[in-house]
Structure 1
Amino acid sequence: MREIKPKKRINPAMIIAGVIVVALLAMTPFIVEQIEPGQVGVVYKPSSGVQDETLSQGWHVVSPITRVTEYPIRTQTKSLDNMTLATKDGKNIVVDFTYSFAVSPDQVTKVFNKFGPIEIDEIADGYLKQRLYDASREQISKVTVLELFGEESGNVSTSIQTQFAEDVKKIGFIIEDVALGAPKPDEKTQEAIDSRVKASQELDKKKTDLAIAKAEAERLRVEAQGEADARLIEAQGLAKAQKELQKTLTAEMIQYEAVKKWDGKSPLVSGSGSMVQLPLPDQETEKK
């Protein structure tokens, strides 16, 4: 007869442990939340609402009834094309904008409380777009179209960014940069701008030509003054030399110089008072 071996009893503790492991694995998607880099998690509990404390990037264990909404806090860039605005002088222009923004990590809950659990892109395409439009409309209405195309372009862009940033920072957005594209005017406005630019270029050319003429005239004046100064210095030197020479011309010096130059012959002209004897060379020769 075959020997019948007794069956091994299954340890109840092992069964319970296995059930717990399976239950935990099944519940993992509901109690573990992963926050991606560059994001923060806003925690909402049915019992107490939105929590002030947010979840940083990484893995977190949360209650199964807790909801977590991720908000990006990294810088994002958005473009808005063909925004129609009016200038101070009533000219309509079309402008493109590019701006960079981020959600302040310390104010993420403000954003959530205002907009709810919606994507940040929806907020940018709605709320932020409207705030940028309002700031642009107000600032561009302060300048004429020619000023916008000229010296005021940079100031207008800065003013738009300042107003836009101040408007949205109170609810948790940080505006880092606003770039104003080249305005696109209508045909008549473009003709007026072209005429203004041409006139400005012609004026600049005239100013340049005048500056060149003045520089050339100044160069000639300096040269003439230099030559006059040189002649004056030369004349002053000659006069000084003559003055010094006159001081040395005594009667003895004049007689000495005359003796040095005498050739031993009697002078052709001699006399004193009103009597002048003027011997002729032929007579002197006949006497000899």
Structure 2
Amino acid sequence: MSEPNVTKMPTRFGGGIKTIVAIIVVILIAALSFESFTIIQAGNRGVVLQLGAVQDKVFDEGLHFKMPFIQNVIPMEVRVQKAESSQTSASRDLQTVSTTIAVNYHIDGNFANKLYQQVGIDYVGRIVDPAIAESLKAVTAQYTAEELISKRPEVSAKVKEVLNQKLSAYHILLDEINIREFNFSEEYNKAIEAKQVAEQQALKSKLDLERIKIEKEQEITKAQAQAEALRLQKQEVTPELIQLRQIEAQLEAIRKWDGKLPSVTGGATPFINVGQK
């Protein structure tokens, strides 16, 4: 009988280990390859963390190499973002003012790492929203309620200026703001309405007085002109002018005569004095 082959089992076992090791190596290489690259999507910047520490370099859009398991990349959106909120503040004359303000802003991509380092991901709740409320309150306190309405463009410009200073300190750039209408208490609205009615009535009374004054002046001027005309006419009346007017009247009567003598008593014949002095 032949002796059993006792060396075949270790050989097979050793081959299995090599296969497992090879698979692990392939997996590690694939993992290293995957971890060695990162893709920054459009409208974002990549903040590089190396063992938790923020690095100076900021990744732009596209494919980038990073050290696997050592560096981590945090995406930060740099597109224009919108924050809209309803705010309540007080005017200089202590009227309660309610308004809705919409703000467009974006992160300065070159300093996205600084913003992440100073504030973190929640910069909207920590920086943007409080800055909007503080800026609006600071500016409305400089104007009366009436001025907030009549000087609205000026108020908006000042709010934008103050808000821009607050946001730029954290590398957030302000694009535009839009302040919707200011709303006040019902009592104040009634007082404003009553004041407007009074002003309109006062303006109407003033216009009526001016109209009456103008009409009176026109009547006086007209009367003065008529008096002056009569005075001039009296100065120009002479006996010759009177006789001329008489002759003109008789000639007009002759022109209108139909050729029939009127029935008269006393034997007088009309037009007998024509041409006689």
Q: Distance in 2 between matches of 1:206 and 1:52?
A: 73
Q: Distance in 2 between matches of 1:210 and 1:29?
A: 89
1:185 aligns with 2:180: no
Q: 1:175 is aligned with what amino acid? A: L
Change (3 A) 1:207 1:74: farther
Q: Deviations over 1:89-114 (max 9, x none)?
A: 11112111100000112221220111
Identity of counterpart residues, as a percentage?
Answer: 19
Q: Give the match for residue 46 of structure 1.
A: 51
Q: Give the match for residue 61 of structure 1.
A: 65
List aligned pairs for 1:49-128, cutoff 5 A.
49-64=53-68, 65-81=70-86, 83-116=87-120, 118=121, 122-128=122-128
* 8 Å CA contact retained: 2:127, 2:167: no
1:141 aligns with 2:145: no
Q: What's the secondary structure of 1:53's corresponding residue?
A: strand
Q: What's the secondary structure of 2:57's corresponding residue?
A: coil
Change (3 A) 1:139 1:207: farther
Q: Which runs of 5 or more structure 2 residues have no equivalent in the other structure?
A: 1-19, 230-277
Q: Give the match for residue 167 of structure 1.
A: 166
Q: Deviations over 1:150-174 (max 9, x none)?
A: x222211110110010122022010
Q: Give the match for residue 37 of structure 1.
A: 42
Change (3 A) 1:187 1:123: same
Q: Deviations over 1:15-65 (max 9, x none)?
A: 999876654433344222111111110111128x22222101111121112
Change (3 A) 1:205 1:79: farther
Q: What's the secondary structure of 2:35's corresponding residue?
A: helix
Q: What's the secondary structure of 1:185's corresponding residue?
A: coil
Q: What's the secondary structure of 1:178's corresponding residue?
A: strand
Q: 2:39 is aligned with what amino acid? A: Q
Q: Distance in 2 between matches of 1:146 and 1:85?
A: 14
* 8 Å CA contact retained: 2:108, 2:173: yes
1:126 CA drift (Å): 2.9
TM-score norm. by structure 2 comes to 0.63
Q: Distance in 2 between matches of 1:32 and 1:205?
A: 78
* 8 Å CA contact retained: 2:119, 2:126: no
1:207 CA drift (Å): 6.9
1:79 CA drift (Å): 0.5
Over aligned residue pairs, what C-alpha RMSD do you find? 3.5
Q: Which moved more, 1:169-178 or 1:15-24?
A: 15-24
1:137 CA drift (Å): 0.9
Q: 2:163 is aligned with what amino acid? A: F
Change (3 A) 1:204 1:31: farther
1:86 CA drift (Å): 0.6
Q: Distance in 2 between matches of 1:86 and 1:106?
A: 38
Q: 2:139 is aligned with what amino acid? A: Q
Q: What's the secondary structure of 1:129's corresponding residue?
A: helix
Q: What's the secondary structure of 1:54's corresponding residue?
A: strand
Q: What's the secondary structure of 2:143's corresponding residue?
A: coil
What is the count of residue pairs matched by the alignment?
205
Q: Distance in 2 between matches of 1:208 and 1:106?
A: 63
Q: Distance in 1 between matches of 2:206 and 2:82?
A: 44
